[in-house]
Structure 1
Amino acid sequence: MLINADFTQRAAVAANDYNWVASPQSGVERVMLDRVGGERARATSIVRYSAGSSFAPHQHPGGEEVLVLSGTFVDDDDSYPAGLYLRNPPGSSHAPSSPEGTVIFVKLWQMSADEQVKVRIDTRRPDAWQQESGREVCLLHASESEAVCLVRLPAGALLFDTPVENSELLVLAGSLVEAGRHYEAGSWLRFPSGEHPKLYTATEGCTIYFRRGRLIGLSSKALP
């Protein structure tokens, strides 16, 4: 399966264009933002668990990254409310569930093979945020090949003042505007290196998930 699989091109899925697709697990649906592969795929998705839904224990050979958007996500014996960020390294396993229902942003098979540490960050904590050049930043992950953070921007701010480097974002609150088009909360955009998007925050400001770095695991042939 190939969805937004040409990483040399811009890709965008607006919040009002979501196409919810049932997963193999009853009660779990997903919006496929980009995907290379079948059920074992390099994938970026919005996933929605109905109350009481769960997955059987399974492994993530390529790692899993999760940002809880609403409700409560249960990863084995721990519960994570909205605002929690998780990185489960390559080779990890779990049996996720949600007794009350949840919506999460998920990235699969996009970690370096040498990642070994399980990460849990509560982005609701004030001390998780730092001021940087007129915006607030919550660092989630940084390596030689990748940087992941949340960013809060004031009203009317220009998001990028230089061309980007293999970047993607998910609008978490507020909205972004480009050439008259509004990207509301839930909208996802991905940009190839060298593009210079002219994205501004709307009057209410904006909070985004932002990832920059080299793309990992692009070939479905690399997936088992």
Structure 2
Amino acid sequence: MLIHSNFLQRAVVLPQHYQWVGSPQPGVERVMLDRVGQEKARATSIVRYAPASRFPGHQHPGGEEILVLSGTFSDENGDYPVGWYLRNPPDSSHQPFTREGATIFVKLRQMPEGESRSVRINTREPSTWIRHSKGESCALFTDERERVSLEKLAAGARIFSQFVEGVELLVLEGSLNEAAHEYEQGSWLRLPPSEYPELVAGPEGASLYLKTGHLGKYLTGVVSS
């Protein structure tokens, strides 16, 4: 299965275009944002768990990155309410479930073999945020390949001022504008290396998940659509 599989091309999914697809587990469905493979895939998805749903224990050969968008996501290591960021390194395993229901943003099989850090960050904790000229930033993960953060931008603030080595973002609150296009809450964008996206926060500002650098020289296995 190939969905937005050419990583040298721009990809956009707006919330009004979400297509929820069932998973092998009852009560768990997902919106496939990009995907290379079948059930065992390099994938970026929004996953929705119904109350009292679960997945059996499984491994993540290429790692797993999660941002909890609503509800409470859980596994054998703890409970993670909305706002938690999790990073499970390659070959880690867990048994995810939820009691009340949860929606999560998930990236699978996108980490290098050598990554070993397990990350747990509660982004609702004020001490995780740093103020800057455009708003506030919460650093989630940084290495030589990529930088991941949450950003809160004031109305009219511009995200980028130069070319970047690949951008991926999910609008969490507010909106972003780019020329005649408006990207509302729930919009997902993936922009290829060397683009200069003129994205600015909308009139109410914007909150977003932001990943940069990962689509540049470190991207391997680019698949043409």
In the superposition, the TM-score normalised over structure 1's length comes to 0.95
Task: Give, in angstroms, the shift of residue 164 of structure 1.
Answer: 2.1
Equivalent-residue separation in structure 1 for 2:150 and 2:222 (angstroms)? 28
Partner of 1:60: 60
Map Cα deviations across residues 157-204 of structure 1 (whole Å, 9 max, x no partner): 112221221110000100011122211111100011111122111110
Partner of 2:105: 105
Task: Give, in angstroms, the shift of residue 29 of structure 1.
Answer: 0.4
Worse-matched range after superposition: 194-203 or 44-53:
194-203
Partner of 1:39: 39
Map Cα deviations across residues 13-50 of structure 1 (whole Å, 9 max, x no partner): 01111010001111000000000111111100000000
TM superposition outliers: structure 1 runs of 4+ over 6 Å: none
- Whether the 8 Å CA contact 1:164–1:191 is kept in 2: the answer is no
In the superposition, the TM-score normalised over structure 2's length comes to 0.94
Partner of 1:19: 19
Q: Name the SS for the 2:62 alignment partner.
A: coil
Q: Which runs of 5+ in 1 are unaligned?
A: none
Equivalent-residue separation in structure 2 for 1:180 and 1:82 (angstroms)? 32
Among 211, 216, 221, the residue aligned to 1:218: 221
Equivalent-residue separation in structure 1 for 2:164 and 2:133 (angstroms)? 17
Q: Which runs of 5+ in 2 are unaligned?
A: none
- Whether the 8 Å CA contact 1:42–1:218 is kept in 2: the answer is no
- Whether the 8 Å CA contact 1:8–1:192 is kept in 2: the answer is yes
Task: Give, in angstroms, the shift of residue 51 of structure 1.
Answer: 0.5
The alignment status of 1:164 with 2:164, answered yes or no, reads: yes
Worse-matched range after superposition: 55-64 or 126-135:
126-135
Q: Name the SS for the 1:16 alignment partner.
A: helix
Q: CA 1:59–1:177 in 2, change beyond 3 Å: closer, same or farther?
A: same
Map Cα deviations across residues 63-97 of structure 1 (whole Å, 9 max, x no partner): 00000000000022411000000000100001100
Equivalent-residue separation in structure 2 for 1:217 and 1:49 (angstroms)? 31
Equivalent-residue separation in structure 2 for 1:164 and 1:217 (angstroms)? 17
Task: Give, in angstroms, the shift of residue 134 of structure 1.
Answer: 2.6
Equivalent-residue separation in structure 2 for 1:141 and 1:77 (angstroms)? 20
Q: CA 1:219–1:26 in 2, change beyond 3 Å: closer, same or farther?
A: farther
Partner of 2:191: 191
- Whether the 8 Å CA contact 1:15–1:183 is kept in 2: the answer is no
Partner of 1:95: 95
The equivalences for 1:113-124 within 5 A come to 113-124=113-124
- Whether the 8 Å CA contact 2:32–2:44 is kept in 1: the answer is yes
Task: Give, in angstroms, the shift of residue 219 of structure 1.
Answer: 6.0
Equivalent-residue separation in structure 2 for 1:159 and 1:134 (angstroms)? 8
Equivalent-residue separation in structure 2 for 1:78 and 1:71 (angstroms)? 14
Worse-matched range after superposition: 34-43 or 178-187:
178-187
